Chains A and B, each alone.
Chain A
Amino acid sequence: MAMRCKRCRGAVVIEVRRHNAAFCRDCFFHYVGQQVTRAIAKHRMLAPADRVLVAVSGGKDSLALWDLLLELGYRADGLYLSLGIGAYSERSKRVCKEFAAARGATLVARDLAGEHGYTIPEAASKGGRSSCGVCGLSKRYVFNRAALDGGYDVVATGHNLDDEAAVLFANTLRWDTAAMARQFPVLEATRPGLVKKVKPLYRLAERETAAYCILKGIDYMVEECPLVGGNTQMRHKETLNRMEEESPGTKHSFLFGYLERAAELLRVADVAELAECSRCGMTTQAPDDPAEAPVCAFCRSKARLVKTLPVVEVSAG
């Protein structure tokens, strides 16, 4: 017997096995909107008057998020950070610009090499952190800085249920309780210099954000970043997907069980003292030795990288 839409009994375009549901096109849009609205309400992510900066890469998650926030009526601008990954970066920037132009939305563009003197491929070739590690560090820093510069209240990122489950899986395998304590759908701005961060897609699987884009006609970057091949997060996602196939709802239970029953305990236990970076002024963990000047991870990484690269003209910031 043919599957029928859980809400309207119409013809189905997608199954959502973890909810034992299937939806037609319109009811799937309703479901996606409902999941995002629930996430925002439960964690008080956004207020109606907030100026929101959506970090966009041109991929399915960030463009779906930007589209949804605009549809829900939020004042959401996009932020694109050029990482200097050759033609891939050029194409992803073009996708973001076309998305913004089609909606009359504002896209803020920043450039890692122009502002900080290195590209991600250059960073990856210099050892130290992995390309994904230095990319994540750079993005977190630039997103926060760009939001401060532009007077935004919140930075929204497209992290989905699969991303969050995979990160939690990796942190649990290492029992990295400090990292686990910081993994939550909302991170409040607890100090001056920190902007609130939210993840409104954490209730949606990445297959659902991709389906949303396809059904909405959003032309996202299907090609994968050339530097990401075989990275740890991809391997963890594959492992979790095999478990999910056998037992639908595994990823949801893993993540939501953590958020509802364990996250608060770890947050209370996380007593890291914070300080102001002596080089850039951003918030960072205070050094163990009080005589030592605090230097944030981004400044340490940047100093190491820029020292090894040819001298280039770098703008302030």
Chain B
Amino acid sequence: MLVTARLRPPDRIVEVADVRRVADLLGHLDVLPGAVLVIRDGTLLTSQDELRDGDQVEVRFAISGGA
């Protein structure tokens, strides 16, 4: 099972094997679930949602800096 994750910002793409749920993917990427949104086909996924082989998801960081 292979999932392709596009992380941004900054933009980069990683492939992750053997992750069943979104929580597993975020754990593998060492990303805090509370700092990102995971998007598949324009829809938001929760940490408990299951991933499928060949899934392409976006892991979008929701933290922004600035004054």
Selected contact of B34 from candidates A12, A231, A244, CB within 8 Å: A244
Cβ contacts under 8 Å, A60 to chain B: 62, 64
Cβ contacts under 8 Å, A248 to chain B: 34
The interface size bin for chain B is 20 to 34
Q: Decide if A94 is an interface residue (CB 8 Å cutoff).
A: no
Cβ contacts under 8 Å, A2 to chain B: 48
Cβ contacts under 8 Å, B8 to chain A: 222-223
Q: Decide if A242 is an interface residue (CB 8 Å cutoff).
A: yes
Cβ contacts under 8 Å, A214 to chain B: 37, 39, 42, 44, 60
**Interface residue ranges of B8-66 to A (CB < 8 Å):** 8-11, 32-37, 39, 42-44, 46-48, 60, 62-66
Cβ contacts under 8 Å, B36 to chain A: 207
Cβ contacts under 8 Å, A132 to chain B: 65-67
- Residue of B whose beta carbon sits closest to that of A251: B34
Inter-chain contact A13/B46, CB cutoff 8 Å = yes
Cβ contacts under 8 Å, A14 to chain B: 37, 44, 46
- Interface SS of chain B: helix, strand, loop or mixed? loop
Q: Kindly state the separation between the CA atoms of A37 and B32 in the bound complex, as whole angstroms.
A: 29
Inter-chain contact A206/B62, CB cutoff 8 Å = yes
Inter-chain contact B63/A133, CB cutoff 8 Å = no
List the count of A-B residue pairs having beta carbons below 8 Å apart.
Answer: 88
Contact of A12 with B63 at beta-carbon distance under 8 Å, contacts A207-B37, A210-B37, A211-B37 already known: no
Taking the nearest CB of chain A, how far is it from the CB of B8, in angstroms? 6
Q: Decide if A50 is an interface residue (CB 8 Å cutoff).
A: no
Q: Kindly state the separation between the CA atoms of A132 and B65 in the bound complex, as whole angstroms.
A: 9
Inter-chain contact B63/A211, CB cutoff 8 Å = no
**Interface residue ranges of A239-259 to B (CB < 8 Å):** 241-242, 244-245, 248
Cβ contacts under 8 Å, A136 to chain B: 66-67
Cβ contacts under 8 Å, A57 to chain B: 66
- Residue of A whose beta carbon sits closest to that of B42: A214
- Residue of A whose beta carbon sits closest to that of B35: A241
Cβ contacts under 8 Å, A135 to chain B: 66-67
**Interface residue ranges of A103-153 to B (CB < 8 Å):** 132-133, 135-137, 139
Selected contact of A15 from candidates B32, B39, B46, CB within 8 Å: B46
Q: Kindly state the separation between the CA atoms of A240 and B27 in the bound complex, as whole angstroms.
A: 18
List 28 A-B pairs, Cβ < 8 Å. A15-B46, A15-B47, A57-B66, A59-B64, A60-B62, A132-B65, A132-B66, A135-B66, A139-B67, A206-B63, A207-B37, A209-B62, A210-B60, A210-B62, A211-B62, A214-B37, A215-B44, A222-B9, A223-B9, A228-B64, A228-B65, A237-B65, A238-B35, A238-B63, A241-B63, A242-B32, A245-B32, A245-B33
Leading 7 A-B pairs by shortest Cβ distance: A136-B67, A234-B65, A210-B62, A228-B65, A207-B62, A13-B44, A224-B9
